[in-house]
Amino acid sequence: MNYEARTISAVRNAIQSGTTTATAFTKDHLQRIREHDQVPGEEINSFLSLAEDRALAQAAHIDALARAGDPLPRLAGVPVGIKDALAMTGAPATAGSAILKGYHPPYDATAVAKLAAEGAVLLGKLNCDEFAMGSSNENSAYGPVRNPRALDRVPGGSSGGSAAAVAAGFCSASLGTDTGGSIRQPAAFCGVVGVLPTYGRVSRYGLIAFASSLDRVGPFAHTVADAATVLNVLAGPDPMDATSSQAPVEDYTASATQPVQGLRIGIPKEYFAEGLDPEVRAAVERSIRQLEAAGCTTQEISLPHTEYAVPCYYVLATAEASSNLSRFDGVRYGHRSEAARNLSGMFRESRDEGFGAEVKRRILLGTYSLSAGYYDAYYRKAQQVRTLIARDFLDAFRNVDAIVTPMTPTPAWKLGEKVDDPISMYLADIYTVAASLAGICGISVPAGESSTGLPIGVQVLAGHFQESKLFRVAQAIENAQPAAS
């Protein structure tokens, strides 16, 4: 089945017209996953589990609606994958960690429930860096994910399985989470669209937390229009999440079709400094010229505290991780060590056996920054810097409607290239973490390829709850790309 036939509108129209059935389409995708996701030596390893019974039951429900001539919901029959950091009945939820192996949630996360209510066929759970901690999807306890565009390359992280599954055609859309770039960066590496909604725009209820003031749930899709359609479904308040916003939800799908003529685009000089790959720079500059040709005005802006974003993020995120992950203790659910001889030993051994190296590293860093004598020097100071970074964006958006930047410093690197160099891995987040700290919305849009055929993404940022502007600019960038062969 070709690329165009997998877009949301194409799937829904084919089912409504009787060209295919949701059941046939679902079986086709499940078979494709079984045949291509776990091929020895060439495994992509994007799916950790399949929810076949649930998927086929939903497909049968959609087919019954179609046969009766009833109106179909917005995502009728659309195959969707769910990052394994989100709760979903009918499949385990491990967050990519051995400490949660075998845990089956008794409920759906709000984002998952909203997709199901709109007719999406939930195929299963997608691989990710353990507890969403990583930029390459090599930290999963269940093996790394490979980039479908180049199997020797990483897909990005932490939502690497979510990006890879869409890029490989295993699903039309997927859910990921973004704490410091975990949707946008893998979307760029795999050549798909990934959306970071404004903090509070999408409910976090049912998300296995990493850093609660930063975690967000958002979609991956083949196209900007599909991403807008999924966000239309996900967005809105939730009584189960006190941090979800009551702000009105606009029609993002309609917004994406609006012209960009007259929009003011900011180009932050700090994002084009040393370390940016020349081919990535060229792709972003080409997208800027295309926006100008579409009627946008562009101007250089400054986000002066950008240089502090990475260290600020890795203090705050690890501190929150230290607190959130304290609940995994071998008592209530998840892994319990058999080697322990007393209560304190059970806590210690269960966590030591269950957590991977990167998670342990971040727990230690976070615990240190929260400890007596260091709280003011690290955690409190990082909160102050976070305020300065947020103010940079607030100041910028007084003069521009959106900001366009590189998405990543380089295209996808090779598997294993950075696993022994965590600092280098952290610095790969240089273009993503500032928006995370500020709580604003962003999107990664494919903007060409490197000379070796690796995808390159461009990032668009907009102010709080300005997703409509985000999709307008992203659609203009997508429209300017050469048609897929």
83 is catalytic: yes
Q: What is the DSSP letter of 192?
A: S
Longest CA pairwise span in the chain (Å): 70
Which one is catalytic: 49, 97, 174, 182?
182
Measuring CA to CA, which residue among 235, 241, 239 is closest to residue 201?
235
Quote the CA–CA distance of 63 and 119 in Å, as a whole number.
Answer: 10
To which H or E segment does residue 381 belong? helix 381-396
**Catalytic one among 83, 114, 125, 418?**
83
Element (H, E) at 264: strand 264-268
The letter for the amino acid at 473 is V
269 is catalytic: no
Q: From the candidates 158, 159, 350, 436, which is the catalytic residue? A: 158
- Per the CB < 8 A criterion, the answer to whether 203 and 110 are in contact is yes
Quick check: is 158 catalytic? yes
The CA-CA-CA angle for residues 353, 177, 244, to 5°, reads: 115
Which string of b and e fits 400-431 if b means at least 16 CB within 10 Å?
Answer: bbbbbbbbbbbbbbebebbbeebeebbebbbb
What does the alpha-carbon distance between residue 41 and residue 164 come to, in Å, rounded to a whole number?
17
| Amino acid identity, position 356 | G
**How far apart are alpha carbons 469 and 404 in whole angstroms?**
12
Nearest to 36 by CA among 8, 10, 67, 1: 1
Q: For residues 10 and 431, give the distance between their C-alpha atoms in angstroms, rounded to a whole number.
A: 34
Catalytic residues: 83, 158, 182
